[in-house]
Each structure stands twice: as structure tokens, then as C-alpha cells.
Amino acid sequence: MKRKIFRRVLIGFFILITIWLVFAQCSLKFRISDADAKEKFSGAGVDLVTETMQVDGFPVHYAKTGNDTLPALFFVHGSPGGWSAFERYMMDKDLLAKFRMISIDRPGFGYSRFGDAKNLEAQSKLIGPVVKTLQNGKPMYAVGHSLGGPMIIKLQVDNENLFDGLILLAASVDPEEEKPEKWRPVLYKTPLKLFLPGAFKPSNEELWYLKKDLRLLDKQWDSIRCPVWIIHGDKDTFVPVENVNYAKRKLRKASSVEVKILPGARHFIPWEQYEEIKGVLMKL
């Protein structure tokens, strides 16, 4: 009797594991097909263009809205994420009257070779050429959320005058504020990675790289000479607000630094504090 019960429990366990593995491979990819995205934007009365550019054989996917003759906002998502993280901004009629807007799938996410995670240096080499092809002689401002923050810093460091200004949203830039998290390599170097759902696999890997990336970037901030806007919530438990003080110290060569601390705000300020973020963008 006990053996029969044990066998049933074991079979049930393996069924649950199988179901989870299937779920993990198919879900939480944080991406939307180009066709579905275009239909969604069309319903809001906005034309959406999607493109994939090959950079040294690597596909970099992005979406854009707005008049190509206008200044640009270049959005860079966090981890995990995809270009559609900024879809509300890209549909906003007030912003569209002033900017064309571009949002990218960072390497390893969305349709930029999903799952193939890269460190900041490798991502910069892939994203930089895309930005350059999209420049039109008008000002271009980069907006980076969370890991997208150090990403736009790295892009500006590696490509002089690539952007006319940087907007850091809850940006994870301070290497001392990064927790050791030595368990992360176990999850991406072993079969255990199969249990991570969707975009959390490349996210786990790049977040491990980030710890070293930020220490390397620490010595390069003097290359930032453009204006910088820093926006952060004082209740952010993912990226502590102490990152702001670090950024202010490192931006000593920037032409200007404006800081906006949002009382009571958490990490997800691009969506939960939309009007505050939009207000800053409208004043650029």
C-alpha cells in the first residue's frame, strides 16, 4: 500500500515537473509579435514601424513611432523586458507631437536573438550602430530604466556624443549596491536554467555579468559630458535610491545633472509614475 502511494506521488511529481518545464519554455517572454503590435497601435491611431538590423550577424530588433524629422527619444528597457515596455509613451499624442520615439529589444530579449544574453560591452557594440543609423541631425535623448540605465551610460561612453542627453529611470549603476547573488551562475551554467521561465533565463545571466560590468564602467563616467536627468523612487527595493548619490558623484563632467526623487515610488516608475516621467520628457 505504501509503495503504491509512493509511486503515485512520484508520478505526480514528474508530471508537475514536466508541466513546469513546458510552461518555462513558452511563457513570460515579454514580447509581442510585430503584427500584433502594429494592430494594437493602429487601434490607438498610431503608425508603428518595426525593423531588424543585422550587426555583425546579430539581429537587433526595434520599433519606432512618430515623424522622422523630429528629435528622438531612444528607450532602453530593463531586465527582463522588451521594447513594448515603453508602448504607452510611444502612443502618447503629446510626446508624438514633439518626438519620434524608438524602443529597442536589447540583445537576448524580444526578437533580438531571444535567450542569447550579453554583457554591457557586447550589447553596446551591437546597439551603437543601430543608434547611429537612426540619427537624423536632430537631438536624440536616451531613456534607460533599471539595467537600461547603465546600458545608456555605456553607449554614451563608447560612442562620443551619441546622445544629446540621458534620462536614468531607477537606474542600477552603483557596483557597491549590487548584492553578491553567487547563486546566479548555478542557474545559467547548469540544467537548472531550464526551470527559469522565458526572459528570466537571459535576465539571470546578464544580471550576473552586471556585477563586473559596473566595476569596469566605474572608471569611465568622466566621458559623460551631456545633460543627465536622474529619476528614482525613494521606496525602490530592487534598485536602492542610494544609486542616485553614486551617479551624482560620477557625473562630475556632465554639463548638467537634474535629480527628481519620487516620494513613495517603487522600482516600476515608468508605468506607475507615468505622468511624472512624461512631464520630464516634455521639457527636454
- Residues 223-271 pLDDT 10s: 999 999 999 999 999 999 999 999 999 999 999 999 999 999 999 999 9
**Cα Rg for the chain, rounded, in angstroms?**
20
Query: What's the pTM value of the predicted model, to 2 decimals?
Result: 0.91
Please, what is the Cα angle at 165 between 150 and 178, to 5 degrees?
15
- Mean pLDDT score of the chain: 90
| pLDDT score for 44 | 97
User: Which of 118 and 25 is assigned the larger pLDDT?
Assistant: 118
Confidence tier at 167 by pLDDT (50, 70, 90): very high
Residue 50 near residue 60, CB atoms below 8 Å:
no
pLDDT class of 19 with cuts at 50, 70, 90? very low
Q: Which domains, from first to last, does the chain contain? A: 31-282 (3.40.50.1820)
- pLDDT level of residue 192 (50, 70, 90 thresholds): low
- DSSP E strands, the chain: 49-55, 58-65, 72-76, 100-104, 140-145, 165-169, 228-233, 257-262
Cell of 148: 537600461
What gap in Å lies between CA 42 and CA 147, rounded to an integer? 30
